[in-house]
Every structure is written in C-alpha cells, then in structure tokens.
Chains A and B, each alone.
Chain A
C-alpha cells in the first residue's frame, strides 16, 4: 500500500512537470494554431541556463532561476518572431516542418556549446524529505507538486479573469473577430509564447532536479510526452493539458513500477492511441464546429 502511494506521489510530481510543458503546447496550439515542436528543447535551454549560472558562474539559485526564465522567454518570443511569424499565413505543414527544424537547431546549438556529455544538474532545491508514518515523500517532489499546482491555479485565474486572458481566449476562438475587437493578434501570440516559455523554464528546473542530468537531447522526450499529454487531454484545452499531463505521469510511474520499466513509454503511447480511438478530441477537448 505504502509502495503504491509513494509511486503515485512521484507519478503526480512527474505528471505535474508534464502538465506545465503541456500547457505551453496547448496554449500555443489554441492561440497560434500551430504545433510548436521546439517547445521541449526550450526546457533543455532553461535547464542549461540554470547549470551555467549556478555551476559555472556561481550565482545564487534564485537568481539563476530568474535568469533561466528570462532566457526561455526571450528564446520563445524570438523563435516565434523569426521562424513562425513569417509563416502565419502558410499551410500548417510548412509551420510544422519549421518547428521541427527549430527543434534540431536548438539541439545542435546545445551540442556545440555544451558537448554531448550529460551535465549534472545542481541541487538547488534543498528540502528535507517528509515522513508520514511509513510514507516518505522526497522534498523536491513536494516542492514540484506545490509550485506546479500554484502555477496551474494562477494560469486558470489569469486565462478566465484577466483582460489579457480574455483576449487570448477570443483570439483562440476567432482570430479575425478578435482583431475587429481591437485586439492585436500579433501581440497576443507573443504573450502566449512568452508565458509558454516561462512555464517551460520552470519545467526544465523541476525536470533537472528530478533526473539530475541534462544533455542536448534531454528536452525531446519530455517534450513529446507533454505533447501526448496535451492531445490526451484535448489539445487547445488548458484544463485538458493539466489533466492529461498528470494522468500521463501517473500512468508512466505506475507501469514502471508494476509492469515493466522498459515498456513504460510504450504503455504511455498505447494509452494515447486507445483514448484517441474512443474519443478523438481528447478527454476534455471540445468538438470543433465547422465554420460555414
């Protein structure tokens, strides 16, 4: 029983990291109507920003987290401006291929700068484990859970209540009508990329503390899994991304523990295929109304 609980909690912690990344995927999809496959690599850049500032420059953890967030935001917004904005009116396939290109570009750039070896991630979250009877919860997991939950709650309020959030929902529903309401679509897309990238930086931090090592290709697997999580929950839906991410983390950890470590990824993707066969729009996805 205790074993199951601790597996569940580490699954929740992993899942909440996926959820943060999936939020970035789903927001960009909802608002810019594109799949940003370079999103996973932004996580890697964020993690390397922390490694560089802590291990190489000797900066304080708080400062390096801030630097990492700023780096990712600048990177995300620049990627959108340089690579995606000129293709705003191009067919989706062109944008998709460009996104994959940006992903390889970031990986190769990291390979060039940091080499192919895995860099150890500094231990910047120092929180003692908590013992609840026989159950032990690792400190970094608890922090991950608490902070990602807070971020997700904050994002929900922001999207539903704030003026910018309303503008984002309006753009995601009908770009032309939103523009006619005096909303700058370009500005809204920039804000979306900035928020998504900031979330990716936080995800990179937690991913680094969870696994301890970062390499140039570290971002691709969590990136793909978060994409799966976003589709699983219903792409374009923010609650869907959160739910999908958390479920994915839990399924992955449970299958690692009780079925097979080697097969866990296969099981994760099999679950996606089954869900999409039964409910093609994902768990919380809305039916897309065809415009006449």
Chain B
C-alpha cells in the first residue's frame, strides 16, 4: 500500500492537478476473453479534480474498462493505480473503499428500497454500527443512524431530492433515478466517480442540467469524474481530457478540440473517406 510510484512521465492532466498525485493511473491495461482481446494497452491518467471522457463506437470496450477499473473483471495485463495503490487482486468492495464509485448504463438502483435507504447503503462503510447495537437499539445505534440520515439528506439536497427521501426508488421518474444513482455513488465518498452513459435517454435540456450538475459535483466534492457518453455535446462540453477507444485500443487522447479534429477519430466514427 505504498505511494512510492513515480509520477507518470507525460501526465495528461489539467494544470491545476499537475503537481498533485493522480487519482487514477492506468498502465498497459488489457483483458482477453478466451481468444478475444477486449481491451489492449490502455493507458490513462486522471487528475484529482479532472473530468475525463471515454468515448468510442458501440462495442469498443468502454464498459469493459469500467469493469476493469472496479475489479469486476481481473485484467490479463497491466496495472491500475488508484490513488497510488495497485488494486490488482482486490475485490470490488475493497476498491470501492479505496475510493472508486460508479453508476451503470442501465440504472441499477435497489428499486424496492426507499430513496433514503439507497443512499444509506452507499454510506455503508462510513456508518458506525455493530450487530449488538442495532439489535439492542442503544444510544450508539440511534446516533449512528441519525448521522447517516443527516448525511444522506445532505447528499440528496445536492440534486434537490431531499423531499423524495421516503419514496420508493423504483417509483421515481427516469431522470430522478439517474440522479439518485449518482447520489448513491457519491455516498461511498469516492475520489473518482465513473459514470456510464449518464445522459442516456435524456432530452437536450435535461442533458444541459446534468452537465451543470456534474461540474457542481466536481467543484463541491473536489473529486475526479470519468464518464462514458455518446452525447457529444456533453462530452465536448465538460470533459477536459478525452480518450477514444476503438476495438479495445485507444486511438486518440487529448482535449476536446484535439479530439474533434483528429482524423483517426473521424474515421472510427464515420468510416474512411473513399478516395
């Protein structure tokens, strides 16, 4: 668990984060499924307050990268340094404790629980409670419960959702479910949050609001956010660094402007121009 890993040589992080240790440093990451190489030689660095984007055509391996970062899959090659700690061999709940959280492409809330309880589950590791205290309902239990509830409501208020606390999560409208999933991920106190297609199914005005909210979260919580997104207005609007994935390989990396004018990216998205 040492932090004696050298800083990456060509750190592609925003200037304000350049002198700080990167929250995420992925090196030569790769995974094979049987004979198929799903991701290969993936290199990526995230500054501590950076908003980064991962784009690419369908099936390029973007969600696979998220699954690798959260140790749902075990990489075949390469390493992931989360806040300087090599996460190889850890289980998903351990890397979550270390500071990585995510949302899902298809929303995966605990639909039968209340909105508040969803957030409280996210607070699992910061809630101090033992079995004895919870069965006896002693003062320690009530104190921990009250603190958890306060914190949960505070987090919900970021998205103005505190009034919905007692509603069943599955009964919320689609947009609110997406926001709740982000709040729940925030509750685990991540250093970096991965958002898998947060704007999927949203109309342009909702997307614009989401964009504001992502910035707000970054500014309020001072965390890094990495997102997979097909909505280019969102990606180009808020991401500071973007990596383009195609057939499991990074074909381009850079700022939104660099990506927009990169011929390899245009080819991957639109096909090669016929001569």
A interface residues, Cβ below 8 angstroms from B: 154, 157-158, 161-167, 169-170, 173-174, 176-186, 286, 289, 291-292
Within the complex, the shortest CB–CB distance from B220 to chain A, in Å, comes to 20
Known: A170-B113, A186-B91. 11 other contacts (CB 8 A): A161-B134, A162-B134, A169-B113, A173-B112, A180-B70, A180-B92, A180-B93, A180-B101, A183-B121, A184-B93, A185-B93
B interface residues, Cβ below 8 angstroms from A: 70, 72, 91-93, 96-97, 101-102, 104, 106, 108-113, 117, 120-122, 124-125, 127, 129, 131, 134-135, 137, 141, 144-145, 148, 184-185, 187-188
A174 near B110 with CB under 8 A, answer yes
A291 near B106 with CB under 8 A, answer yes
CA distance A174 to B109 in the complex (A): 8
Contact A184 B134, CB 8 Å, known A163-B127, A169-B110, A170-B110:
no
B72 near A176 with CB under 8 A, answer yes
CA distance A183 to B141 in the complex (A): 19
Within the complex, the shortest CB–CB distance from A153 to chain B, in Å, comes to 12
CA distance A1 to B104 in the complex (A): 60
Contact A164 B101, CB 8 Å, known A181-B188, A182-B188:
no
CA distance A180 to B91 in the complex (A): 10
Contact A173 B113, CB 8 Å, known A179-B92, A179-B93, A180-B96:
yes
Contact A182 B96, CB 8 Å, known A163-B124, A170-B110, A170-B113:
yes
CA distance A186 to B145 in the complex (A): 24
Contact A184 B113, CB 8 Å, known A163-B129, A177-B108:
no
CA distance A178 to B108 in the complex (A): 10
Mostly, the B contact residues are helix
Within the complex, the shortest CB–CB distance from A273 to chain B, in Å, comes to 28
Contact A184 B91, CB 8 Å, known A158-B135, A176-B72, A177-B110:
yes
A167 near B124 with CB under 8 A, answer yes
Within the complex, the shortest CB–CB distance from B223 to chain A, in Å, comes to 16
CA distance A275 to B152 in the complex (A): 41
Give 6 closest A-B pairs by Cβ, nearest first: A162-B134, A179-B92, A182-B96, A182-B125, A163-B129, A173-B110
CA distance A286 to B111 in the complex (A): 12
A173 near B134 with CB under 8 A, answer no
CA distance A161 to B72 in the complex (A): 29
Q: List the A side residues contacting B111 at CB < 8 Å.
A: 173, 289
Q: List 27 A-B contacts (CB under 8 A).
A: A154-B135, A158-B134, A158-B135, A161-B145, A162-B129, A162-B141, A163-B120, A163-B127, A163-B144, A163-B148, A166-B120, A169-B113, A169-B117, A173-B110, A173-B113, A174-B108, A176-B92, A177-B108, A179-B92, A179-B93, A180-B70, A180-B96, A180-B185, A180-B188, A181-B96, A182-B93, A182-B122
A183 near B93 with CB under 8 A, answer yes
A164 near B134 with CB under 8 A, answer yes
Contact A176 B188, CB 8 Å, known A158-B134, A163-B124, A185-B93:
no
Contact A183 B134, CB 8 Å, known A169-B110, A170-B110:
no
